[in-house]
Amino acid sequence: MDLYHSWFYEYILNTPYFLWTVVIFVFGFNFLGPVLVWFVMNSKSIPLLHRIGKEKNTKKANNAQSE
């Protein structure tokens, strides 16, 4: 299979928007990775995940009360 002349490579993988998406994802992970590790090492809950958990518990409680 000739990857470099395939439609997928020429029109998807070798486009500026795809390459910039990969660059931004890697940069974001490199920036946020140490912050996430710091939260885990200090046994603190991650604020975003904590908020999502609260919303799920609230919905469960509301559903239980309405039944």
pLDDT digits (tens, 9 = 90+) for 14-53: 999 999 999 999 999 999 999 888 878 887 666 666 666 6
Q: What is the pLDDT of residue 30?
A: 95
Residues 6+ apart with CB under 8 A from 45: 39
Task: Give the integer Cα–Cα distance in Å for 56 and 11.
Answer: 41
Domain locations along the chain: 3-66
pTM for the whole structure: 0.53
Alpha carbon distance 24, 30 (integer Å): 10
Find out whether 20 and 10 touch, Cβ atoms under 8 Å. no
Helix ranges (H only) for the chain are: 7-8, 16-41, 47-66
